[in-house]
Structure 1
């Protein structure tokens, strides 16, 4: 494992501050606020492509998980899961991802890097954020 893998593992292990507010602004985004004052607005597309679920719609290309065509995906609802997370239900019928408060913090803290890497991966494989055109 390279240095980036080690850093990635460390950054996901760090415990996030306590979640103080979660606001579902369906269908566009989720806004989360933490005890350290961090506020993250996470788009439906961003949350969908980083779903912690194992999903049948993911294409594995050379060992990389690639989800494309989700630019216009929406969040239909959010269901609490215990006192540690929430299940998001998307309008592409994806509903198996459980987002923990720590995972929201990780996504928010690394939003720009994660999105940049996602766009780079799509380009590398000739895929698009836009859904394929219907014939």
Structure 2
């Protein structure tokens, strides 16, 4: 999915916001994203979600209230989130997290469309969760 390029961006900060269910990431190239936990969970790079080849992806449903319960570093290149449903096998490289952030609007629409097509319309029709604006700086 995400191409890996030498010299790509690395995070300068990762913040788990449990209440708003967002992972905030700042990269050394100046970019930054707030990724909803639900998006992270349904686009997990694990074999459980992606399958073992094209066309084997497994649609994740019922993830609206998913939480990240832990975020473990993997070397100097990735993190491994632990989700409240017990899923913890996805390793998210810096490149993959950057790709998710850069493409999250389209990915979210694709996810909602797949939910609708699979008969989970009650889960579709939502806007991408975004950070709430606050009056104070970080």
Specify the TM-score bucket, using the shorter chain as the normaliser. 0.7 to 0.9
The alignment of Structure 1 onto Structure 2 pairs a total of residues equal to: 116
Structure 1 match to 2:28:
35
Contact 1:89 1:95 in 2 (8 A): yes
Unaligned 5+ residue runs, structure 2? Answer: 125-138
- Which of 81, 84, 109 is the aligned partner of 2:77? 84
2:117 aligned with 1:124: yes
CA deviation map 1:22-44 (0-9, x unaligned): 11223612111112211100111
Contact 2:48 2:58 in 1 (8 A): no
Q: In the aligned structure 2, how far is the partner of 1:129 from the partner of 1:88?
A: 23
Structure 2 match to 1:5:
none
Q: Counterparts of 1:88-103 in structure 2 under 5 Å?
A: 88-103=81-96
Tell me: CA distance 1:17–1:124, structure 2 relative to 1, closer, same or farther (3 Å). same
Given the two structures, how large is their TM-score scaled by the length of structure 2? Answer: 0.75
Query: Displaced runs of 4+ in structure 1, greater than 6 A?
Result: none
Structure 2 match to 1:21:
13
Please state which structure has a larger fraction of its residues in strand: 1
Report the 3-state secondary structure (helix = DSSP H, G, I; strand = E; otherwise coil) of the residue aligned with 1:116.
helix
